[in-house]
Every structure is written in C-alpha cells, then in structure tokens.
Amino acid sequence: VAPPAAPEAREPGAAGPGEPRVRSDFRETVYANPTLITDASGTATLAFPLADSITTWRVSADGSTREGEMGHGRASFRTFQSFFVNFSVPTRVTAGDTLELPAVVYNYLDTPTSVTVSLLEEPWFELDSSPRQTLNLGPSEVRSVRFRVRVTQAGEHALTLRGSAGGIADALVRPVSVDPDGQPEVETGSGTLSGATTHVFNFPTDTVEGGAQLELILTPGFAAEAAQGMQSLMKEPNGCFEQTTSSAWPNTLVAKYLELTGQMTPELREQSIGYVTRGYQRLLTFESPTGGFNWWGDSDPGNRILSAIMLWHLNDMQSLIETDDDVRDRTLSWLLAQQNADGSWDSGDALHAGNEVLGTSVARTTAFIAWALAHTGLADDAVRRATAYLAANLPDESDLYANALAANALAMGDRGNAATGILLERLDRMGQDMGDDGILWPTEAPSWTGASGDAAAIETTGLVAYALMTADAYPADITGGMRFILANKDAVGTWYNTQATMNALRALSAAATPSGSDAVGTLTVTVNGEVAEVIDVNDTNSDLLRSFDLTDYAVIGENTVRVEMVGTGEVSYRVTRTAYRPAMPAAAGPFSLDVGYDRTSTTVGSPIRVTARVQNNSDGIQDQVMVRIGRAPGFAPRGEDLDAIVAAGLASRYEVRAEDVTFYLMNFAARGTRELGFRLTPSLAVEALAPASSVYPYYRPEEKQMVDPQRLVVTAE
C-alpha cells in the first residue's frame, strides 16, 4: 500500500460577497471498504470526500493475494488551512444554562492580520456579549475570544462561528441538543395499521415551557425498525458482554438485511461496517483467559451461554467483516468440551454474581446453547445430541420461557422430531389473545437476565414468534405475536431491555421480506381534529424510518391523535408524548439515591467533588444496578477517581457519557450502602444544570429512582 499523495493545503473561502463554506462534517472515519479489489499489480485508486476537520488522517489497509499471502500498510496525510477558527461546544445543555464559549483563532499566515470573529445570532439563545469581536494576530499566532451565550429554547440547534481576516475567511457549525428544564415523563402508543386508530395523551398543567413534545415515527419495514432500535441502543449504557452484544448485534442484522435487499449504498456500507467492526473489536475484550467469554472480560471463568452467543454473533458477522478464526475455533472447542455425555450442558453459569435464571435450569441452558450452535452450522453432532436430550427431557410445561427456548432449538436442529410438535402445540395453547393488540406469551418466571413483567412478556413473545416462523407453524400465532411486539415499543423505539429488543429484532428479521413493506397508500394524522400530516407510503419509501413533529398541534390537557391508513398493506408506527415536568413522583423500587456536592460554585479548572450514596433497600443481593450521575456541560470527571472506585470494588465498571457518568454495581448486599465519590473539573465558565441522577436495576428500568438536577456556577479564572 503506497501512501497517498499529499493534498494541497486547503485554503479558506473569500470573505465578503463570497461567503466561506461552512465546515460542518467532523466525522472521525471518512471511508471504509471491506471488499476492495486491486488490479493485477496490487494497486487500487480511490476517491472519497474528506470531513471538514483540520487534522492528520491515518490510513490503514490489510489484504491478501489469491495465493493467500497477507500484507498490510499504514500511511498518513494532513488537511490544513493557513487561517481557521474553532470552538468546542457541549453537545448537551439545558434550557436556562449560560455558557462562556472560547472561540480560538489560528493564524498561520506569514503576515500579521486583524481578525473579526462573529457568532451567528439565533432565536434559541441570547448573547450576553458582543456578537462580533476583533483581535490582532501575528504570524503563526493562536488566540481566543469568548462569547457568553444564555440558552432559552429547547430543541435541536446549532451554533455557527465565523472568522475573517482581510480577504480570507472561515466558518464552522457545531450541533447542540437543548433539553427542557425539567424531568421527562413519557407515554407511547404504537402498532401496525391498515385502517384507523386513536390514541389519547395528556400534557399535565405543570409541563415546563418548551417541555411538551409529540412525535410520530413511521417504520414501514424491518430495516427501519432495526435501525431505530440500533440507534437507541447505541445511546444506552453497554458495559457488560450481554449489553455490548445487544447493541452491536442489531448493527449486524441491519447490515445483512441491507445487503440481502440490495439497499446497501456506499454511504450506508461505510456507516454500518464501521459499527459492526467497532462492536466486534469491543466484544473481543470479553474473552476469558480460562476459555470462552465472560461478563466483564476479567479473570473469571468462561460462561457457556455467553460463549454460545459469541459464536452465533461471529457467524452473522463473517459475511460482513473479517473475523479471527482462531477466536471462533478456541471458543467452539471450549464450549463443546463442556457438553455432557447425554448431550446436555450443566446449569450454574452465573449472571454477574449468581442470581440469573437461564443458568439455573439444565433445560434452559442446553436449549439456548443448542439453538445458537444450530445457527452457526459448526457443531452438527453436538446439536444432534443436545436436541435428543431435550426431546427426552422436555421442560416443565409451567416454564413458558424454557419451552420457548427448547422449541427454538428443536425447530432449528430437529424440526421433524415429535417433541418439536409437542412444544409448538404447547406454545399455541399458552398464548393470550389481546384482540387488536395481537397475541402475547406472558411468563411468571423471570427471563434469563431476571427481567419480569412487560419486558419479560415481550422477550418471550419474540422467542415464540421466532420458533413458530422457523418451524413454519401456527401462522395466526405468528401474525398475532408480531402485532403485539410492534404495539409495545418503549419511548425510544426499542423494547425496554436488551434481550427483549434482540428477540423482537430477530423475529422482525425472520418476518421481513426482500421487498420490505407491502404498504401503498396515504397515512393521515390528525391532532385534536386538525390535520397535522398527510404522508405518502409507497415502494420507494417502504423501508425508510421517518419522523414527524406534531408538537405544534398539541395543547396542555387532553390530546387526541388519530392515525389512518388508506390503501393496501400495513405500516408500523409509534406516537410518543414527552412532558417535561418540574419534578416527578418517586417510582416504587428497591433503591434510594442521594447526590451531594462539596460546593456548587467554583472557577474554571478548580474541581467540585460529587458524592452519590446508594442504598439497597431490598432483602436480597442486587446485581447490574445502574447509577447515573448527571454531568453539567463543560465538566469532565477525573479518570483516576473513577478508576479508584472500580479498584475499591464499589463498582464493576464505569462509562463517561455526554450527559452523565454511569456506574455498574454488582453483588450489592441486602440493606447495603455504597458511596461513589469523584471530582468533576470544569473547563468552561457556565451557569448550568447537572441533569437529574438516577438508580435502577438495568433489567427493570420501571423501578428507576430519580434525584433532582443541581445547578452549578463556574466563573472564569
């Protein structure tokens, strides 16, 4: 691989009537191609657009000849302007926040210059400083000016900065998400539609200004459903193996589906292959030194169920990216060595600290592993022996979840076995007809990760629907199950927890056709009797995710939303109502949380210490407890403090995100207390809210406990 020719230095546009091109594309990866073919000499020439970053780019390539010889190359090149401006803006703020933003000017010209820097005024903020500032720069000098911005309106916005020096100029735009000053309360209504349906939503009288939001999401086909789930899961914490898999796997499903249906464009390939690759690289970090994969990638023994998941996922990824056959082979060998002579796998693999459900049942464990191995096609003999064991040792009929797993294993591994028919007939009898809302399969026993209630019902319904589709049995049940799944999305377009979302997406994938949705017609949306949207649905947009803002038609109090489809086929939709309120009533849950600050005002660079006190009020050990501490814009946590929390055993892992710092608490003793203390260092002068903090069991988010936001003040040095 030869290094690319060094590009010419990019010069900024001319000032005056010819305004400079506004730089807005700051992607970190600008090109990816997993199937590049060279000519006979081993050369390939590529052209691709660059992002707007002024930086040094790294290029890497790995390949092989027809004879199997491997090679790799690394190179770099630079994009540069002799004059440019830059500024860092928090990606998430709250209405009412005030930010003092430094705008940095870089003058690499050979001569001194007078520079005018301006911030484009917009209705969503007020400037407490001049919108235009001037400074004099010498050759190769870098200096900054400050703009003080007071945010007044919630929504998705952008800040545009411009700089001009004589006959040259530069401009760039940074996106900003502004949350209303309150805590969100969310309600949803979703389903599939071939006629008309009505939903009623109420906005309470204490909804804060700008805090009423009403949105319609239209997802006519599987790719749109999966993409929505993928984007939402990527925003959630994904610390352990199961969570990482459940956010990475939808990326794989979407990419495979786009390839299957011929919808994969170069732009989509770049994005989706990048997602798949990053997910794969992170999953590799969970391999256990004793064999197999475990929950945290530490020295704990391998987990049989997680190892089966990894093999299944690797099999799905192989058609998209290059994966390491050695990882696959040693994981498979380790897992097969765990199989008993009678074809079963022992129970006992722990979920985190030992309170899981799937691993406590031989039938559940064996069925899950056999189902995964059957998908890979790598161990036909092991699958045959496992399905023979299951056929001779059917789960107790009272354990719906185990029956659904066993039905999947047998439908995939031994469809003609009489036991397969017995299991499918059981599942048919266990379904509950919900009328227009479809059919669900509720389970009293928790799912394999300990989920219960609505999330467990969705998880189990997805399992049942997938098994019935694999066996091509009970088509009315399949239709009803899919209708229930699509009618029970959560507010962000997924299904409450990672396994429920994965089972829903697997079922949607199996039900999808290469042509996508067959819906053709007109969708009319009215809010309180007024037509808000008239939407054309046809074969050109049958698999596109589309969103429509209905907020302007909503009022405080009761709102009636009517969605009507006139035409043929069905579309999937979701209406979400979000009301930001000053405070939310506490939910019933096993935890309490208190968040305190050693001070609420400081100067730039001088840290504030935050302490979160978490109490387990239950009589049992709790695992996978999520503690999310709101982070004000411009505040960065001290990494050494977070590492010390993990080293002390107070948390198993942490993640730093735009709006919070998330901790994973494991083996949390009954009636126990943990204190998580760390420093937050401000880099900007702000008067801003640290968003609400929360604690909840990851697999039971309905038990979330909230702590009110805290306003912090930072002054310049």
pLDDT in tens, 148-173: 999 999 989 999 999 998 888 999 99
Angle value at C-alpha 380, between 375 and 384, nearest 5 degrees: 105
| Torsion sign (Cα): 145, 149, 155, 157 | negative
Residue 217 phi, psi (nearest 5):
-110, 130
Whether residue 61 contacts residue 42, with contact meaning beta carbons closer than 8 Å, is answered with no
Q: Which helix (H) or strand (E) holds 246?
A: helix 241-260
Mean pLDDT across the chain: 85
Tell me if residue 511 falls in helix, strand or coil: helix
Q: Determine whether 548 is exposed, middle or buried from the number of CB atoms within 10 Å of its CB (0-12, 13-18, 19+).
A: middle
Q: Decide if pLDDT at 359 tops 70.
A: no
Q: Determine whether 530 is exposed, middle or buried from the number of CB atoms within 10 Å of its CB (0-12, 13-18, 19+).
A: exposed
**CA distances, 28 to each of 56, 57, 404, 440 (Å):** 11, 9, 43, 43
Task: State the chain's maximal CA–CA distance in angstroms.
Answer: 87
pLDDT of residue 448: 65
Q: Decide if pLDDT at 5 tops 60.
A: no
Closest residue by Cα to residue 121 from 161, 91, 174? 161
Closest residue by Cα to residue 330 from 287, 281, 282, 381? 287
**Residue 302 DSSP code:** P
| Torsion sign (Cα): 185, 204, 633, 115 | positive
pLDDT of residue 582: 87
Q: Which residues contact 546 (CB under 8 A, 6 or more apart)?
A: 217, 218, 535
In angstroms, the CA 530 to CA 532 distance is: 6
pLDDT of residue 38: 87
pLDDT of residue 15: 44
pLDDT of residue 438: 85
Q: Decide if pLDDT at 10 tops 80.
A: no
Closest residue by Cα to residue 503 from 547, 551, 443, 556? 443
In angstroms, the CA 709 to CA 633 distance is: 13
Q: Decide if pLDDT at 686 tops 80.
A: yes
Q: What is the mean pLDDT of residues 614-634?
A: 91
Whether residue 561 contacts residue 201, with contact meaning beta carbons closer than 8 Å, is answered with yes
pLDDT of residue 150: 96
**CA distances, 276 to each of 52, 79, 255, 620 (Å):** 24, 28, 8, 38
Closest residue by Cα to residue 50 from 72, 74, 75, 24? 24
pLDDT in tens, 251-294: 777 777 666 656 666 666 666 777 788 888 888 999 999 999 98
pLDDT in tens, 637-682: 999 999 999 999 999 889 898 889 999 998 899 999 999 999 999 9
Q: Which residues contact 383 (CB under 8 A, 6 or more apart)?
A: 370, 373, 374, 409, 413
Please, which pLDDT band fits residue 348 given cuts at 50, 70 and 90? low
Q: Determine whether 109 is exposed, middle or buried from the number of CB atoms within 10 Å of its CB (0-12, 13-18, 19+).
A: middle
Q: Decide if pLDDT at 235 tops 70.
A: no
Q: 241-260 and 266-283 are packed helices; what angle lies between their axes, rounded to 10 degrees?
A: 150
pLDDT in tens, 85-137: 998 889 889 999 999 999 999 999 888 999 999 999 999 999 999 999 999 99
pLDDT of residue 446: 66
Q: 380-392 and 362-376 are packed helices; what angle lies between their axes, rounded to 10 degrees?
A: 150
Whether residue 280 contacts residue 310, with contact meaning beta carbons closer than 8 Å, is answered with no
Whether residue 431 contacts residue 440, with contact meaning beta carbons closer than 8 Å, is answered with yes
Q: What is the mean pLDDT of residues 442-464?
A: 77
Q: Decide if pLDDT at 231 tops 80.
A: no
Give the dihedral of Cα atoms 122, 125, 127, 132; nearest 10 deg. Answer: -30
Q: Name the residue with higher pLDDT: 76 or 4.
A: 76
Joined together, the tokens standing for residue 608 give 């504030």
Q: 304-317 and 241-260 are packed helices; what angle lies between their axes, rounded to 10 degrees?
A: 20
Tell me if residue 552 falls in helix, strand or coil: helix
pLDDT of residue 373: 97
Q: Which helix (H) or strand (E) holds 185?
A: strand 183-193
Q: Which helix (H) or strand (E) holds 502?
A: helix 498-511
pLDDT of residue 566: 92
pLDDT of residue 142: 93
Please tell me the chain's helix, strand, coil percentages from 3-state DSSP, rounded to the nearest 5. 30, 35, 40
Report the percent of the chain where pLDDT is more than 70. 85
Q: Name the residue with higher pLDDT: 235 or 77.
A: 77
In angstroms, the CA 655 to CA 237 distance is: 7
pLDDT in tens, 387-411: 999 999 999 988 898 999 999 999 9
Q: How many C-beta atoms lie closer than 10 Å to residue 697's C-beta? A: 23
pLDDT of residue 512: 65
Closest residue by Cα to residue 237 from 666, 627, 703? 627
Residue 46 phi, psi (nearest 5):
-120, 150
pLDDT in tens, 504-515: 878 877 776 544
Tell me if residue 332 falls in helix, strand or coil: helix
Q: Name the residue with higher pLDDT: 565 or 542.
A: 565
DSSP codes joined into one string, 105-134: EEE-SSS-EEEEEEE---TTEEESS-SEEE
Please, which pLDDT band fits residue 39 given cuts at 50, 70 and 90? confident
Whether residue 397 contacts residue 380, with contact meaning beta carbons closer than 8 Å, is answered with no
pLDDT in tens, 420-434: 999 999 999 999 998
Q: What is the mean pLDDT of residues 331-342?
A: 96
Report the percent of the chain where pLDDT is more than 90. 49
Q: Decide if pLDDT at 237 tops 60.
A: no
Closest residue by Cα to residue 448 from 364, 511, 565? 364
Q: Decide if pLDDT at 437 tops 80.
A: no
